[in-house]
Amino acid sequence: MSLNVFLISESASLREALVQIEANHHGIVLTMNAKGRTTGLATDGDIRRKLLDGASLDDLISSCANPSFVWADSSTPRELLLKQLDNRIQVIPLLDQTGKLAGIVSRDYLPAQREGPIYARARSPVRISFGGGGSDLTHFFAGEGGAVINTTISLYSHATLRKRSDARIRIHSRDLGTSLEAEDLQGVLGLKGDFGLIQALLKTVHPDFGFELYLHSDFPMNSGLGGSAVVSATVLGCFNQFRQDRWDSHEVAELAFQAERLYLGVAGGWQDQYATVFGGFNFMEFRMDQNIVHPLRIPTDVQLELEESLVLCDTGTPHDSGDIHEDQRNHMQQEGIRQKVQSNVELTYRMRNHLLRGRLLQFGQSLHEAWQFKRQFSSKISSSRLDQIYEEACANGAVGGKLLGAGGGGFFLFYVTPFRKHQLIAKLESLGLKVRPFRFEQEGLRAWSSREGKNQPHPENS
C-alpha cells in the first residue's frame, strides 16, 4: 500500500483532497507541512460538511483538517488498536518519531506482527540411578537384556542459544570457565581444547547458521549424575527450537548418545540420555532391537517419603566415567562379572516392584545390595576412601546406598530411616562431605523460545 495516496500538502485545495480520498479508498486524507510532518486529518465527511457550510472547492484543506486526530506508533499495543477500530475509528495513521507517516491501519488492514529474532532456551535435569548400572552398556545387552531404574532430580543444566546474521560462532561455558569463538562451523570443529562434547554435538546437528551459545549447570563436572548427557540434551533442545520438523524425545536421546559415544568416543551406557530427556521415575529395558522407557506411576505419598529418606552427598572426588566404563568393558569379558551384572538386572526388577508397592525399607536395603554388585564390576569403581565413607554412613543410620554414575567418585546416595537422618547428615559433614538438598523432578528436557525484542532491548551482533 502506497502511503503517498494518503498525504497532501496543507496548502492543497479541498478539490485536490477529494481526489486523494478517491484514490486511497479509505475516506481520509492527511495533511503535511513543508518538512513532511503530518499535521492533520480530514475525512470525506469533514469536507462535505465544510462545503455545505458554504466553503469553495478551492479553499485550503487545512481549513477543515483536525490537528488533534487519533494516531499510533510502532510501540502501540495491538490490543489498543483493535479496541479503537472496534469502537468508532475507521483508519489510524502510524507516525514515526519525527511525526512523518510510517503506515496505515484500518478495519480492513491490520497485518499480523512481523516475525522478529528469537532466542531459544532449554534446561534438563540430572538423574540418580538406583540400580541396573552396567546393564545399559551395548556390549552387555547385545547378548542379554539390560534394565535400570532411575529418576531425575532438581539439579539442571541450562542453555541459551541465539542466531547470528553471519556465520560466526561463539560458545560460552560457565562450567568450563572459558569461551570458544570461530568464524564458522568448520572453524569450531577444527579447534582443540575443552569443548569436545559441544563440538561432537555440533557435528551431529550441523547447523547452517552462526550462533551464540551460553551454558551453565547447577552441578559440578564429573559428578556421576549423568552431567554430559544433561548438557547434550539442553544444547539439542535449543537447536530443536529452530527446526520446523522437530526431533521427538527418543530422537533427542539418540542424538545425544551419538555425539558422546560415537563422535567423542567416550564409553558409557544409554540410560543417562533417556533419563534426562524423559524425566521422572523410569524403568528402562535395553535390547538390541529396541530400548523401552517405562514411566513408573508411584503414589505421591510414597514419592514424598522416599524423597525425605534419601541423602545425596558430594564426595569431592571427580571421576572419569569413560575410563571406568572401558575398564568395565574389559572385565565384562569374564563370565563371573557378566553373571553379577545379570544378578543386578534381576535386582532392578525387584526394586521396581518395591517402589510401586511403597515398600521403601526393602528398597533401601536393595540399594545396599546393588552397591555390593556394582563395586565388583571394576577395581576402579570404589576405593579405600569411598569404602570408608560407605561404612561410616551405614554405621550412622544408612540402610543402604550407592555411588552414582560409573563410580570412582562423584556423589553418594544413601537411604536412611526417618529418625536417624540428622545423625547421618552430621556424620557425613564431619567427614568433610557436602550434603546436597534436592527434590524429585517429574519433567525431563524443557525447551522454549522467546522474542528478543521483548526481553532484550537492543539485540545486535558484536
Can you give the pLDDT at residue 112? 79
The sign of the dihedral angle between the CA atoms of 185, 186, 188, 194 is positive
Q: Return the C-alpha cell found at 282.
A: 523410569
The verdict on whether 73 is a catalytic residue reads no
C-alpha–C-alpha distance, residues 185 and 166, integer Å: 11
Can you give the pLDDT at residue 280? 97
C-alpha angle 229/246/445, rounded to 5°?
A: 35
C-alpha–C-alpha distance, residues 129 and 85, integer Å: 59
pLDDT tens figures, 67-111? 999 999 988 999 999 999 998 898 999 999 999 999 999 988 888
- Measured CA to CA in angstroms, residue 308 lies from 149, 161, 302, 438 at distances of 19, 36, 10, 10
Q: Which residue type, as a one-letter code, is found at position 47?
A: I
All domains of the chain in start order, with CATH: 4-106 (3.10.580.10), 119-441 (3.30.230.120)
How many C-beta neighbours within 10 Å does residue 49 have?
12
C-alpha–C-alpha distance, residues 399 and 414, integer Å: 7
Q: Of 46, 136, 218, 272, which is the active-site residue? A: 272
Q: Which residues contact 54 (CB under 8 A, 6 or more apart)?
A: none
C-alpha–C-alpha distance, residues 181 and 458, integer Å: 22
**pLDDT mean for each 10 residues of the chain (462 residues):** 91 95 93 95 95 94 94 92 91 95 91 85 96 90 92 97 97 96 96 95 97 95 86 98 96 97 92 97 96 96 97 80 58 74 92 96 95 78 88 96 81 95 97 95 97 65 49
Q: Quote the distance between the C-alpha of residue 304 and its chain's center.
A: 26
| 146-163 vs 211-217, strand pairing mode | antiparallel
Under 8 Å between Cβ of 170 and 212: yes
Q: Which residue type, as a one-letter code, is found at position 209?
A: F
In total, the chain counts a number of residues equal to: 462
Q: Which residues contact 369 (CB under 8 A, 6 or more apart)?
A: 347, 400
C-alpha–C-alpha distance, residues 410 and 318, integer Å: 5
Q: Which residue has the cell 554412613?
A: 393
- pTM of the entire predicted model: 0.83
C-alpha–C-alpha distance, residues 275 and 440, integer Å: 13
Q: Which residues contact 66 (CB under 8 A, 6 or more apart)?
A: 40, 41, 42, 46
